Amino acid sequence: METTVSYGLVAVLRRLRLRLVAAAWLRGFFVSMTAAFIVYAVGRMAAAVPPLPGNRSYLLLGGSLTLLASVVWAIATAPDLRRVARVVDERTGLDPLLVTSYEAVVRKRASSLPQAALQEEVWDRLGGLDTAKAAPLTPPGRLWALVLIGATLALVPGLQRAVPNVSSPDPMPPESVVEDLVADVVSLAEVLEAAAGVSDYTPLAARLRDIAQELESGAALDGSVARELGEVLSAVAQAAEVGVDETSLALREAFSEAGVGPAFTEQGPQPFTFGGEAQPITDATQEGTEGAASGFDPDSVFRTLGQVAAALDRALSGQGERVAGSGDEPNAAQVGGSGGYYTDWNDEMAEAMAAKRASIRQRGRGEAAAGEASQADDAPGDAAGRGTQAVEAGAAEPDAAGTAIEEMLLEADPREGGRTMTYVPEPRWEQDRVVRAPVVLPSLVLGAEAPVDPERVGAEHAAVVAKYFERYPDTP
Amino acid sequence: MDLNVNAQGAGTTAREALAAEVDRLRKVKESVARVVIGQEKVVDEVLTALMCGGHVLIESAPGLGKTLLVKSIGTACGMAFSRVQFTPDLMPADITGTIALTQDEAGRSVTRFQPGPIFAQMVLADEINRATPKTQSALLEAMQERTVTVAGKRYELPEPFFVLATQNPIEMEGTYLLPEAQVDRFLFKVSIPFPSQDVLEAIVDTTTGSVTTLVEQVLTPEDILRVQVHVRDVPIADHLRSAVVRFVRSTQPEAAEAGDKVRKYVRFGVSPRGAQSLVIGAKAHALLNGRYAVSREDVYAVAGPALRHRFQLNYEGWADGVDPEALMRELLDGAFAAKA
């Protein structure tokens, strides 16, 4: 016999079941979250997973799985109405009125006096039922404590770092650490590239650039990266201890020959050194190299990068300032920063080297043109004028080819007595090291076959030259 | 009476009606307790058995008020009372009655059934273990069938019919122990403890003074019968019933559910009648305490009287000093703790 009491009882039980399912979902969510936290914390302790902030995709995936698991768990464990009645009975002290009453309703046995009295009793009790107590939606305190413990284990970086990393060689640091590391690596690479003019750090800079690019592209930051960084730092440290490498010395000699470069002073070529920064660089790199060599602690390697870069920057800047203070170009006003200074200095150096090469070539051309002139007009006094004419005639060829011609003053070979001569730079196609043989070779051949200008032979060599030519009677 | 309609409307009719019945039962308890001093638990158990329509076997030393208890309850319930003192020479006919040759109004000799003392609503079978098994079985058959067959003719016993048998656990010489199968027919086995100092002083005062306390009638036999119907209608939840059945099965030494202790110490476990006694006793206990559904506490409350004569330890159990009631409670705990 279906009655209002029966319908009411069933309706109440259905509402309670909804709350129980919701509570089960919440509980399951908390349990799953706690489990995820604990798994993550254990993973961090075992160095099997990277820190949280750098892995939003992991967070999203873990959260979704946790949510899904809790929903599935709540649905799978959704109780039937009889079970709901039992649970509410136990929680509210009604045991076992509600479940007994529900079973009587289901079996339609509520017609006897005790059973009717039971229905009334239950109906009255349900009116004052505390649903929050019967089916609480708030997870119990112990669950909160569990979640807090799990979250603490997972999120406190100190705890994670306190645990030695021995089991896994491939931990993933936070994203911010990677960004800082990339910035440090790039900074160090820039400093080394800026120093490339005075020392051959280009391979080290290139290696650092490669490492930075790998890190930016999301490559795993593992022990091999740390070791590679350690090797670079070792090389820098070695350079800091030596103070100068052979390559830079060779360059320095070239600069001195060209008469340019910040290290070329009145005292002659000065070796490039790290000055007072050598020891800080050595100290900073030592920690990193030791960290890299001791298995795995990339942080110790990474932390030193910024220090090394800064020390190098200071050392190179100091070198530039010392040079600027010696009175040579460029002066301190031209130094907009270490990178800018060395960029300007390098440009100047390159131009000087190109000019030196051009002067050597032009010397040959001039001699060739002089030979042509003497062949056309044997008057010795016209040699210089013809020579100059020949140079201008030679310069007309690239102009005819449409190439701009710029004039500049060049301090020529000191053996020529410091004469100032006008130099027309080689056309730009020649800068590409592509030599037009039909243009160059005839003048060179003519020059080689031209007679020696006696005026150009020094008095101390005249006897030797005369003796030489006397061996060939047919020579004019 | 459409109780559900009442439940929807006035809302308390069924409860009020049942509460009135329960109140009268409580008055019986109070009335009997004024005479049977210090035996409230015994009174409660006997009254529970009466509500169930079962019989009670009382085990106590002489002089502890068994007869007074039965008389008082009979009086309070308005039930006809009789007493049979069992002796070795007591014959079944002495209990059930016999065919007697008598004269009718016309003076002719006729045979007439002369009912025995068992034809009462409340029968005290005192020291039942002193009678021979044949006499005992005559009583027990009447208890079970609620009928008596004499000379091929079947006689219905009056309703309600309640037998309260006693036996003396001390003096065993010249007694005939009741077979287990017959003991099983008693719903409860109640032990009357020796009274405490205070209780005994109160008993002495009450029974040796000039003022005699009388028991007043509170119920009628019809009330008892109605209550017995109500008791059977008290619902029990499935999981509680299942727990009772699990418990009963767990007391069987041969059953798969039996534990090591049961296999080692139990001679025979609780019979199906024990399960019935437990459930119906729990129903009566719940109703007597104003509840309309059986709870676990009701089952535990009646487990002692309902099971102690149905659960026998073997020699090893007695030798090891196993307490059968403690073992039963342990098994009950296990049965209720197990998932339904």
B-chain CB neighbours of A100 within 8 Å are: 235-237, 293-294
For B43-59, how does the pLDDT look when each residue is reduced to its tens digit (9 = 90+)?
A: 889 989 999 999 999 88
Would you call A101 and B11 a contact, using CB atoms and an 8 Å cutoff? Answer: no
Range with the poorest average pLDDT among A106-115, A151-160, B280-289? A151-160
Q: Which residue has the tokens 């009793």?
A: A121
Kindly report which listed range (A114-118, A151-155, B154-158, B260-264) carries the lowest average pLDDT score: A151-155
DSSP A328-355: PSS-GGG-SSHHHHHHHHHHHHHHHHHH
Other CB atoms closer than 10 Å to residue B138's CB: what's the count?
23
Nearest to A5 among B8, B15, B237 (CB): B8
Q: Determine the pLDDT at residue B49.
A: 92
Q: Which H or E run contains B147?
A: strand B147-150
Inform me whether the pLDDT recorded for A382 exceeds 50: no
Tokens of A268: 């002659």
Q: Where in chain B is the domain with CATH 1.10.8.80?
A: 234-337
pLDDT for position A374: 45
Q: Can you give the pLDDT at residue A194? A: 66
ipTM for the predicted complex comes to 0.80
**B12 vs A contacts (CB less than 8 Å):** 120
CA dist list (Å): B155 to A206, A457, B122, B224: 118, 170, 17, 22
Average pLDDT over residues A396-415: 38
pLDDT, position B6: 40
- Structure confidence at residue B245 as a pLDDT band (50, 70, 90): very high
Tell me, what amino acid is at A1? M
Q: Which residues does A contribute to its contact with B (CB < 8 Å)? A: 1, 3-6, 82, 86, 95-97, 99-101, 103-104, 109-121, 123-124
Of B3, B236, B295, the CB nearest to A116: B3
Q: Give percent of chain A with pLDDT exceeding 70.
A: 34
Tokens 């530039």 sit at which residue?
A320
Are the Cβ atoms of B14 and A117 closer than 8 angstroms?
yes
β-strand B162-167 against B56-59: which pairing, if any?
parallel
Please list the alpha-helical segments (H only) found in chain B: 3-8, 13-35, 40-52, 66-77, 92-96, 133-145, 180-183, 197-208, 221-233, 238-250, 260-265, 272-288, 296-307, 315-319, 324-337
Does the pLDDT value for residue A197 go beyond 90?
Answer: no
The torsion angle over the Cα atoms of residues B152, B154, B155 and B160, rounded to 10 degrees, is 140
* Average pLDDT, integer, range A321-340: 39
pLDDT at A358: 58
**Segment of A70-84, A146-160, A360-374, B220-234 carrying the highest mean pLDDT:** B220-234
pLDDT given at position A458? 66
pLDDT class for A220, splitting at 50, 70, 90?
Answer: low
pLDDT band at A306; cut points 50, 70, 90:
low
Q: How confident is the model over B5-12, as a mean pLDDT?
A: 43
Question: How far apart are alpha carbons A469 and B77 in whole angstroms?
Answer: 167
| Mean model confidence pLDDT for chain A | 60
Predicted pLDDT of residue A87:
85
SS3 B186: coil
What would the mean pLDDT of B122-151 be, rounded to a whole number? 87
Rounded to an integer, the average pLDDT of A314-318 is 52
Among A304-308, A345-349, B279-283, the minimum mean pLDDT is found in A345-349
* Two structure tokens written together for A21: 């399912």
Residue A394's CB is within 10 A of a number of other CB atoms, namely 19
Contact in structure between A119 and A91 (CB atoms under 8 Å): no
B324 or A205, greater pLDDT: B324
pLDDT band at residue A453 under the 50/70/90 scheme: low
CB B221 within 8 A of CB B159: yes
Listed in order, the ranges of chain B carrying CATH 3.40.50.300 are: 16-89+118-202
Angle at B40 between CA B233 and CA B188, to 5 degrees: 50
**Whole-angstrom distance, CA of residue B120 vs CA of residue B173:** 30
Q: What is the largest CA-CA distance in chain B?
A: 73
Residue whose C-alpha is closest to residue A1's, from A112, A84, A98: A112
Confidence of residue B283 (pLDDT cuts 50, 70, 90): very high
Least confident of A75-84, A162-171, A336-345: A336-345
User: Partners of B191 in the beta sheet?
Assistant: B59
Strand partners, A141: none
State the pLDDT at residue A250.
42
pTM over 0.90: no
pLDDT band at A55, cuts 50/70/90? low
Percent of the residues in chain B that have a pLDDT greater than 70, as a whole number? 96
Instruction: Give me the mean pLDDT over the A120-142 stretch.
Output: 77
Residue of B51, B53, B54, B50 whose CA lies nearest to B18:
B51
Residue B127 has pLDDT above 70, yes or no: yes
In this complex, do B293 and A97 lie within 8 Å of one another by their Cβ atoms? Answer: yes
For residues A220-242, average pLDDT: 63
Distances (CA, A) of A304 to A54, A110, A164, A285: 21, 83, 20, 6
Preceding omega of B253 cis (within 30 degrees of 0)? no
Optimal mutation site among B4, B296, B336, interface A, most CBs of chain A within 10 A: B4
Chain B contact residues (CB < 8 Å to A): 3-8, 11-12, 14-15, 17-19, 230, 233-240, 287, 292-296
B50 Cβ contact partners less than 8 Å away, ≥ 6 residues apart: B73, B77, B160, B162, B224
Nearest C-alpha of chain B: how many angstroms from A3?
Answer: 7
Given this model, what pLDDT does residue A42 score? 74
Question: pLDDT (tens digit, 9 = 90+) per residue, A96-117?
Answer: 888 888 888 887 766 788 888 8
* B235 vs A contacts (CB less than 8 Å): 100-101, 103-104, 109, 114-115, 118
Bigger pLDDT: A52 vs B288: B288
- Average model confidence (pLDDT) for chain B? 85
B38-45 average pLDDT score:
87
Structural domain B234-337, CATH architecture: Orthogonal Bundle (1.10)
Q: Who has greater pLDDT, A124 or B244?
A: B244
Rounded to whole angstroms, the Cα distance separating A57 from B127 reads: 86
Q: Which of A57-66, A258-267, B175-184, B266-275 tops mean pLDDT?
A: B266-275
- Best of B15, B23, B292 to mutate (most A CBs within 10 Å, chain A): B292
CA A160 – CA A295 distance, rounded (Å): 18
pLDDT band of B277, cuts 50, 70, 90: very high
> What is the Cα–Cα distance from A225 to B278, expressed in whole angstroms?
77
User: What is the residue-wise DSSP string for A266-298?
Assistant: TTEE-----GGGHHHHHHHHHHHHHHHHTS--H
C-alpha to C-alpha distances, B334 to A22, A368, B294, B331, B338, nearest whole angstrom? 32, 120, 19, 5, 6
Any idea which of A61-65, A187-191, A362-366, B150-154 has the lowest mean pLDDT? A362-366
Q: Give the pLDDT band of residue A227 (cuts 50, 70, 90).
A: low
Residue-wise pLDDT tens digits, A411-426:
334 444 444 333 344 4
The residue among B194 and A405 whose pLDDT is bigger is B194
Average pLDDT in the A118-140 region?
Answer: 78
The answer to whether B104 touches B64, Cβ cutoff 8 Å, is no
Choose the most confident range, by mean pLDDT, from A10-24, B202-216, B221-235.
B221-235
Closest CA to A97 of B9, B72, B145, B295: B295
Instruction: Indicate if the pLDDT at residue A17 is higher than 70.
Output: yes
Q: What homologous superfamily does CATH list for B16-89+118-202?
A: P-loop containing nucleotide triphosphate hydrolases (3.40.50.300)
Counting one residue from A and one from B, how many pairs have CB atoms under 8 Å apart?
91
- Distance (Å) from the C-alpha of residue B221 to the closest C-alpha of chain A? 19
On chain B, the residues whose CB falls within 8 A of the CB of A110 are 3-4
The answer, yes or no, to whether residue B138 has pLDDT greater than 70, is: yes
Contact B3 A103 (CB under 8 A): no
Tell me A382's DSSP state.
G
Highest-scoring range by mean pLDDT, A63-67, A197-201, A242-246: A63-67
The answer to whether B88 and B94 are in contact (CB under 8 A) is no
B140 has a pLDDT exceeding 80 = yes
pLDDT of residue A50: 58
